[in-house]
Structure 1
Amino acid sequence: MTDYTASLPRKRMGAGVLLSDHRGRVLLVEPTYTDYWEIPGGAVEADESPYAAAVREVDEELGLPLRPGRLLVTDWVPPRPDRTEGLMLLFDGGLLTPEQTDRIQLPAEELRSWAWCTEHEATDRLSDLLSRRITAAIRARADGSPAYLENGYPVP
């Protein structure tokens, strides 16, 4: 018997983690492969859960073994000429202690630097899409309700 689900469309998935310091700033990383900054995270691999991907990516990118908290944002991103459609998930990484911050180690081949940024500073460094997603994640964390977005915009 044929597995019907094997014929269904597949979507690209990504998972990231919103990390903050005691001043409410968010942690951004500067990739070597793009002009825009990002949050820690990346592609969900085959047969990997989005949560497991978030844990793995924070460990790979920052050298920090963390267990993120609840889901803050689900964002469906439509296809465009250079990229397939995708589903992006952001988890709440909570507050990093100064001790954790001191232990951050970046993979030099992937990331140039990292920085704590206010929401305004983050908007200046991120792509428009990721800026909208991070703003929604900050709001979701504050009000306790997860956000559903399409292309970074809230959907009622």
Structure 2
Amino acid sequence: MPDLAYYASLPRTRGAAAALLLDDLGRVLLVKPTYREGWFLPGGVIEADESPLAACVRECEEELGFVPRLDGLACVDWGSPQDGVDSANVFVFHGAITGAEAGAIRLPPEELSDHVLVAPEKIPELAPPHVARRMAPSLRAMAERRAVYLEDGREQPFGALLSDARAERS
């Protein structure tokens, strides 16, 4: 029988899920929230007892009016605590958006005011730094058909970390 008091005492982790959707020209879909500055990937907070993938699917349906084709995980980005905000794990799933889907986007007006397809190199001009920082590693991982692990937007060198850990045990 699990020790429920013990599990209740463990720290909780915040999380979010987003969709990195590319059209056939390699442009990235961004949405503009009404409640904060900048452009973001479609997505949002993972709710209690919800998986990251289920959150991404739900948020896309709520924000775009349809569920896009998702092909896999591009990255997990652990964001350290900053400015009084707790740390969070952001799961970025990659997929595609067709021209017909882009033309049929129905934004919830109370939450999003606009959407745009942009060349990846334009993202730093539009998105906040905490969003823009994970785009290049995510797009690279997507092209290489792998997922990448980031901490504050920086790819972590697993080979070096494993070597260091092994050397410490010797």
TM over 0.5: yes
2:142 paired residue number: 141
- List 4+ stretches of structure 1 deviating above 4 A: none
2:63 paired residue number: 61
2:104 paired residue number: 103
More helix by proportion, 1 or 2?
Answer: 2
Q: Provide the C-alpha distance between the structure 1 equivalents of 2:69 and 2:99, rounded to a whole number of angstroms.
A: 17
The one-letter code sitting in structure 1 at the alignment partner of 2:67 is P
Contact 2:68 2:97 in 1 (8 A): no
Q: Provide the C-alpha distance between the structure 2 equivalents of 1:128 and 1:100, rounded to a whole number of angstroms.
A: 28
The Cα shift of 1:67 comes to 4.5
**CA RMSD, 1 decimal:** 1.2
For structure 2, the residue ranges without an aligned partner over 5 or more in a row are 158-170
> How high is the TM-score relative to the length of structure 2?
0.87
Q: Provide the C-alpha distance between the structure 1 equivalents of 2:17 and 2:28, rounded to a whole number of angstroms.
A: 16
Structure with greater contact order relative to length (CA < 8 Å, sep ≥ 6) = 1
Secondary structure of 1:19 counterpart: strand
Secondary structure of 1:79 counterpart: coil
Contact 1:77 1:85 in 2 (8 A): yes
Q: Percent identity?
A: 41
Contact 1:55 1:67 in 2 (8 A): no
Secondary structure of 1:72 counterpart: strand
1:49 paired residue number: 51
Pairwise mapping of residues 67-146 of structure 1 onto structure 2 (< 5 A)?
67-93=69-95, 95-146=96-147
For structure 1, the residue ranges without an aligned partner over 5 or more in a row are none
2:3 paired residue number: 2
Residues 62-98 of structure 1, C-alpha deviation per residue, up to 9 Å, x if partnerless?
00123522111001101112311100000012x2112
Number of positions where the alignment pairs a residue of Structure 1 with one of Structure 2: 155
Q: Provide the C-alpha distance between the structure 1 equivalents of 2:150 and 2:40, rounded to a whole number of angstroms.
A: 18
Contact 2:33 2:39 in 1 (8 A): yes
> How high is the TM-score relative to the length of structure 1?
0.94
Q: Provide the C-alpha distance between the structure 2 equivalents of 1:36 and 1:101, rounded to a whole number of angstroms.
A: 20
Which structure has the greater CA radius of gyration? 2
